[in-house]
Structure 1
């Protein structure tokens, strides 16, 4: 679905009063904070004195931390205990998330590396967040917000900054009949869950599904932060049935740039409510808690897994065409999600999930494609094809997997770790990864039409000559139920998501490369070569989908027309909300709403910004 760019991102801010009908000027000029030209760094004359930092520490109950990477002690002889501990748990995302000085991604070649803030407020309450926001505003500090710390683009960390670290704000509360503040009489009570900003999705799933017998739409990776995912839009394994996480948001508490605590829902601050549903985290305020609708569970969740190898390029091109046609006819519906990957080695990898089907029904669904493969000598099963189903309530049940399928989920291996803190084994490769290149594109459902399938197959085959690609079918809403599409339409996400059958992701990475780690440093020349190949791959695929937008949380750091790619025709409205609630630009993240007014590091306001 093609969307015209209504205004270039750089024009959005100057034209806000026109675009918003004057709403952008709702804050009176004498009440708005002064616009400052730059932020201060350590060593600048305006950097807060030790006495000021001590006062902030008292204001937050002692929870102000001076940060240093645990890898900083690796250079000493012998290496410090912090270094040894960090290296021991380098593959544990729960450990990384518990370190305010670290991020889940260690960096991106020629883009950023994981660097700690100078100080962090380890917030345990909304009052702590308010104190941190006020301090940053009054002292012109670069402010960073981190819950799960999963940002690929480095937005959950920044050197020379003050970090609001919400990790300990992780309460989860179930509701039988929730009504938003100010919505009595206009909003029917409904089952919901309220989640603190620091909670991970495994915390939510454990409470809602394993113990509560219901479902909440969230992320596929269990260690992703709830707040960050909702603010980016948020896809889960079953998005074609349950929609996006943002569309399931009923209410949020958010601390805005003026230090005010606001409740945002459909009845109160509805413009801010709309904006945080997909407008990206860290740009509009600090979300401290969220309330999401919960849904009934089906009887079964399950998965289909396998790999098919073609013996020649011609056979692979034919296999690609067959898989596309099979997907359109059998899987393009609310039952199926996750991905099929097309490798550069002429192999198709299937890693799909399903809901609302029995194992027998799911096996019958795949039978035609498997029969087609088995009938041809040009193909072999590199990985045996399996279809498995389990009671839906056990899908995130750590004890169930320990007993029935050890190795599918990996424990947080630290002494005393919560028993429910587990990670899907397939997600372990992203723990601490150093990104070489990452590209994504929403593929319009029109490519599945019979007359266009050959075009898609040709583009996909050409893409794989440079790099493999994954089609994440649960990250596009075409094929979803009508109510879920309607709910997602009322979010800030790029409208292209409504008509996309999949998000294509092409990525490459290397092992963790946190600054200060012992051992060899990343091979930057190789990383750049791989990034170039990934770029050629997405160019080949985009020939079938020119103008395709991309998902803000899984996108290219170097995206040029990022405001159009991430938000499309919704960007001017998002910019108006930004101007209303943060006119001085306190909140900044790379390629976030309003970031076009600032230098790449967020410290210097650009001329005219």
Structure 2
């Protein structure tokens, strides 16, 4: 962003609450001649497409229009039995357009299928769906991986653009974005279609190609959704955000036009999709990402430490944070420390170190723990390292560490379709509560670190939480931070040493699913304690922003929380490329102009 634009955004941000107030907006819209709300149509409403019109859409997309029904709509048939069998299989959920990776959130949303879906196989199919939705005033939803905690990848009574079958991956030895010839040097890159998962990208780029692309930690997350939300993976402390590594994208906008965007061509649309949130400005159909030299090794550190009292636990927290600051606050280290019930769980990863080097890094901390009777290892520490090229190699893990992966159990599943065993618990989850907050690196200063440890301890008296060090980019190399800063993400992520996350969930609870009975009273109690936990932690980081993909559904002042000073610029891009608001997601850019369900426009955009 140019300095003048940054100053304008900084000046505009404090005015957001006023700018978005109903009174102010009503006055503006009256001046523009806004005469009343615009309402999208639902089945049964006048204007809902006739069967002949749906058939015409189906013909235009090569027969790839589907009328959607939940497999639990009729219990006891083959479809519902298969769904129950596969309900913890994220690959099955992703392959079923009527289901999502999260089944709902108490008092927020419930997973319900769209009325119809275009199972897009090419950009032309997406264009046809967008034009049809605009012409017939339909609610339009976009789904690739379907991993949205916020429920943005489904909506009843809508038309779904389902990109799952657009999953081709192509490597480039010398890529130059269109229109950037002579302005940018050729770079190694990978082009990924919108429906591909990160397991597809990692297989092609790393396992087969011997290079690295910055993606997500969960292998079944969609590439396009992650990039549009900002995108963190286990090794972001070295390579930056996924959106910061985007070189070019193909986007279908609300007018049905196809744009190839990059830093040289339509840079504002390019910037907006780099962290501006999926489903708000257009349908991304193809992305080209920078690839990097692959480190020699990737590795992990596991362990769990129990403290025997509150006083010793508080001391353990302080020691862990000093150890992080002194030994781990650098591009080699990422992932998590989890704090709950007087326990510290370690689930860290590293890159570019040998196993011996990693063991030497941790030796002082483990020695400190072992020297004190107040602590006990509930899980003995383990340090493992492997050739980086094998980190997403399913067959390698089948041979050497089968307990760390879970395979897609269907008989026709590709062999590389596995997930980390630690991710299985969130498949189909029903969320009770969830919050995140970026913790600034200044909290690691010696004069503040004890206050940080005190706030962390107080937070654990309410609920457990994790620090995701790879999701704060402070400590990353300058080039990684520079790439990530040139995105729409909240700039606070660049100065954060970690993203704090707290939440809870229960078993899948899709509507009509046999045996699905979430304890709503307990869910609401959990939500209260989750809020108390994060509030206690953020005493030392007031006003901390949160990560749009991992955040509170009920986030107040979400525009500033998710995007900070970048929101006015994002809102301007929304007005330019989607002035009539065809694209709507909960707490997405421009959603303040619409009813909560996205069906009724309450006011014209400012």
Matched, 1:553 2:561: no
Aligned length: 587
Deviation at 1:392, TM superposition (A): 0.3
RMSD: 1.7
1:44-443 alignment, distance < 5 Å: 44-74=45-75, 79-343=76-340, 345-443=341-439
Contact 2:87–2:428 (Cα < 8 Å) also in 1 = yes
Kept in 1, the 8 Å contact 2:466–2:500? The answer is yes
| CA deviation map 1:226-262 (0-9, x unaligned) | 0000000000100010000000000000000000000
Other-structure match for 1:7:
15
Deviation at residue 35 of structure 1 after TM alignment: 10
Alignment deviations for residues 77-109 of structure 1 (CA, whole Å, 9 cap, x no partner): xx1110000001011000000000000000000
TM-score by structure 1 length?
0.95
Aligned counterpart, 2:533: 537
Contact conserved, 1:64 with 1:121, CA < 8 A, in 2? yes
Distance 1:148 1:450 in 2: 42
Residue 11 of structure 1, CA deviation: 2.1
SS at match of 1:70: coil
Deviations 1:262-293 (A, max 9, x none): 00101111100000000000000000000000
Q: Classify the secondary structure of the residue corresponding to 1:7.
A: helix
CA distance in 2, matches of 1:410, 1:193: 27
Which structure 1 segments of 5+ residues have no match? Answer: 15-28
Q: In the aligned structure 1, how far is the partner of 2:499 from the partner of 2:469?
A: 6
How far has the Cα of 1:607 moved from its partner? 3.7
- In structure 2, relative to structure 1, the CA distance for the partners of 1:10 and 1:162 (3 Å cut) is farther
Q: How many angstroms apart in 2 are the aligned matches of 1:84 and 1:203?
A: 28
Distance 2:417 2:257 in 1: 34
Indicate if the aligned counterparts of 1:462 and 1:540 stay in contact, CA closer than 8 A: yes
CA distance in 1, matches of 2:324, 2:89: 35
Q: Deviations over 1:333-378 (max 9, x none)?
A: 00000000001x1000000000010000000000111000000000
Q: C-alpha displacement at 1:560, in angstroms?
A: 1.0
Q: Return closer, same or farther for 1:36/1:186 CA change in 2, 3 Å cut-off.
A: farther
What is the aligned partner in structure 2 of residue 23 from structure 1? none
CA offset digits 1:447-471 (Å, max 9, x no partner)? 0001101100110000000100100
Question: Does the Cα contact within 8 Å between 1:12 and 1:575 map onto a contact in 2?
Answer: no
State the match for 1:22 in structure 2: none
What whole-Å deviation, never above 9, does each CA across 1:152-201 have from its counterpart, x for those lacking one? 00000000100000000000000000011111111111100000100000
Contact kept in structure 1, 2:251 and 2:283, CA below 8 Å? yes
1:454 pairs with 2:462 = no
**TM-score between both structures, scaled by the size of structure 2:** 0.95
Does 1:480 pair with 2:476?
A: yes
Gaps of 5+ in 2: 1-9, 23-31
Contact kept, 8 Å, 1:35 with 1:584, in 2: the verdict is: no
**In 2, distance between residues paired with 1:72 and 1:608?**
38
Counterpart of 1:115 in 2: which secondary structure?
coil
- Structure 2 residue matching 1:438: 3-state secondary structure: strand
- State the Cα distance separating 1:7 from its structure 2 match: 3.0
Q: Is 1:40 matched up with 2:41?
A: yes
Q: CA deviation at 1:416?
A: 1.1
Tell me how far apart the structure 1 counterparts of residues 512 and 18 of structure 2 sit (CA, whole Å): 37
